[in-house]
């Protein structure tokens, strides 16, 4: 049975660290910070993933994304509060200033040609933007493959 208290502690630690540093901690770091067994932390991470609070990488069980924060380098980069963040898509890139309640500059690239594109969030509004956002997959099927929506 999963320890619901530990699940909450893990969630708050993961998101707190990601927001403060731009780095999403992994199970060893989480276990050390919370002084909890790594196996229990991994179980808590699986519980959070099953509730779609985070996404785990398919093979090693590491956190891929604690949305909107991405644990690995990506083409969607966000600068906010003097910290650099990564996001898995443009929705999450915009979600970072939304979650932080902070101004941000988003550096992205055209999904087709790779041309650099920039969006800015200032004072809780989209102050400058370019381009169009495309969802390839209908909403009901997003979780068929959350890495391709």
Partner 1 sequence: MLLFRDEEHVDCWCRSRDLTRGALLTPDQAWRLARAWYAGKLSPAWRRHTLEETEALLAGAGLTGAFWNLRAGGGTIPT
Binding residues for partner 1 (CB under 8 A)? 8, 11-12, 15-16, 19, 51-53, 67-68, 89-92, 94-96, 98-101, 108-113, 115, 117, 119, 121, 124-126, 129-140, 142-143, 146, 149
Minimum separation from the CB atom of position 140 to partner 1 (A): 6
Query: Which residue, 62 or 91, is less far from partner 1 as judged by CB?
Result: 91
Q: Are 43 and 32 in contact (CB under 8 A)?
A: no
Reduced 3-state DSSP string for 80-117: ECCEEEEECCHHHHHHHHHHHCCCEEEEEECCCCCCEE
Query: Which residue, 38 or 45, is less far from partner 1 as judged by CB?
Result: 45
Query: Which residue, 31 or 68, is less far from partner 1 as judged by CB?
Result: 68
Closest CA to 54 of 62, 63, 41: 63
Minimum separation from the CB atom of position 23 to partner 1 (A): 15
The length of the chain is 149
* Helix or strand run (H / E) with residue 118: strand 116-122
């Amino acid at each position: 049975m999963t320890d619901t208290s530990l699940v909450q502690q893990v969630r708050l630690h993961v998101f707190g660290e990601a927001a403060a540093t731009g780095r999403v901690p992994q199970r060893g770091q989480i276990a050390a910070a919370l002084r909890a067994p790594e196996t229990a932390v991994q179980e808590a991470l699986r519980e959070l993933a099953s509730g779609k609070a985070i996404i785990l990488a398919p093979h090693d069980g590491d956190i891929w994304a604690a949305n909107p924060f991405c644990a690995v380098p990506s083409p969607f980069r966000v600068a906010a509060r003097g910290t650099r963040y990564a996001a898995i898509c443009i929705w999450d890139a915009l979600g970072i200033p939304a979650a932080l309640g902070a101004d941000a500059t988003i550096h992205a690239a055209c999904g087709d040609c790779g041309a650099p594109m920039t969006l800015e969030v200032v004072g809780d509004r989209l102050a400058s933007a370019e381009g169009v956002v495309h969802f390839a997959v209908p909403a009901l099927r997003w979780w068929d493959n959350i890495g391709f929506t």
